[in-house]
């Protein structure tokens, strides 16, 4: 039987959020501003690209907001030795959380031993460095059965989190356009239902409002990836009280 959720509060919602600073075109000054936003709102982590890790470590020092670095991002196409090297680099540079993308083609091709070895190798580097690993499935590419299998593999390895999406998992649709769905309540529930209790769920991709966050929380997510952090937490303050107050002029970022 699941434990009933506590009533939502500003601190509870803020400490669920990984503020995403992952757009490929972001300048260092934009990353600096994003870290200021993360500190102001008191979120769980700032999620950044590998090249920004040491820079962000210094910006967030003493804030209580963790540095989360992505590796194999956004499509998981790097070899395992490269992902391992990335994990060593970002943890050396100050990341205490690492979000790794699996290779969806290996999952779809049934190369389960390769997938498990990839996850296990990176998890070992993270745990040796005192960091936690979040494994990104990119659920837009997968049906339920491989998601369930991935949940079992991640549970056996003992990763800290599984995560729905990168926010960049665009799928070609009829007519030639590209789109993605990102996190859904159904997929979060599926992942929660097939992971060990020790494995937490991070929902990311298309989460832009407080109601989106509350829906994912109700489905079993304990961490949220979002770039619309200011909008979500300003809405949280208006509805539940608490918090540091809005930052004037901040707009939601595009993507994620």
Please name the residue ranges forming H helices in the chain: 10-14, 28-41, 53-60, 80-92, 104-108, 112-128, 144-157, 185-194, 210-219, 229-240
Name the one residue in this structure whose structure tokens are 């109700």: 218
Distance CA 137, CA 149 (A): 11
Choose the catalytic residue: 140, 163, 212, 234: 163
- In the DSSP assignment, the letter for residue 250 is -
**CA nearest to 54, candidates 19, 95, 87:** 95
3-state secondary structure of 100: strand
Q: Look up residue 95 and give its two tokens.
A: 């990341």
- Dihedral sign for Cα atoms in the order 190, 229, 166, 65: negative
Cis bond leading into 74, ω under 30°? Answer: yes
**Sole residue written with tokens 């009533």:** 7
Choose, from 49, 140, 202, 234, the residue flagged as catalytic.
Answer: 202
- Does residue 202 have an active-site annotation? yes
Q: What is the C-alpha to C-alpha distance for residues 83 and 94, in angstroms, rounded to an integer?
A: 17
Residue 13 neighbours by CB under 8 Å, 6+ apart: 210, 213, 232, 233, 236, 240
DSSP string for residues in 114-156: HHHHHHHHHHHHHHHTT-EEEEE--GGG--HHHHHHHHHHHHH
Looking at 99, 118, 140, 212, which residue is catalytic?
99
Active-site residue list: 99, 163, 202
């Amino acid at each position: 039987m699941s434990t009933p959720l506590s009533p939502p509060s500003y601190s509870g919602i803020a400490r669920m959020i990984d503020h995403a600073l992952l757009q490929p075109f972001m300048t260092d000054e934009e990353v600096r501003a994003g870290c200021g936003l993360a500190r102001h709102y008191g979120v769980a982590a700032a999620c950044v690209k590998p090249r920004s890790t040491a820079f962000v470590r210094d910006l967030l020092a003493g804030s209580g907001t963790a540095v989360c670095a992505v590796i194999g991002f956004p499509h998981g196409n790097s070899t395992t030795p490269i992902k391992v090297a990335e994990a060593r680099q970002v943890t050396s540079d100050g990341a205490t959380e690492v979000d790794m993308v699996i290779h969806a083609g290996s999952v779809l091709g049934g190369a389960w031993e390769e997938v498990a070895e990839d996850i296990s190798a990176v998890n070992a580097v993270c745990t040796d460095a005192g960091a936690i690993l979040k494994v990104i499935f990119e659920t837009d590419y997968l049906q339920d059965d491989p998601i369930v299998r991935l949940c079992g593999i991640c549970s056996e390895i003992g990763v800290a989190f599984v995560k729905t999406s990168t926010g960049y998992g665009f799928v070609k649709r009829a007519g030639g356009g590209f789109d993605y769905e990102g996190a859904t309540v159904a997929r979060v529930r599926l992942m929660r239902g097939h992971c060990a209790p020790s494995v937490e769920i991070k929902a990311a991709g298309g989460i832009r409002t407080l109601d989106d966050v509350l829906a994912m929380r109700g489905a079993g997510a304990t961490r949220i990836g979002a770039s619309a952090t200011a909008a979500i937490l300003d809405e949280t303050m208006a509805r539940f009280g608490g918090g540091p107050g809005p930052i004037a002029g901040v707009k939601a970022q595009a993507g994620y």
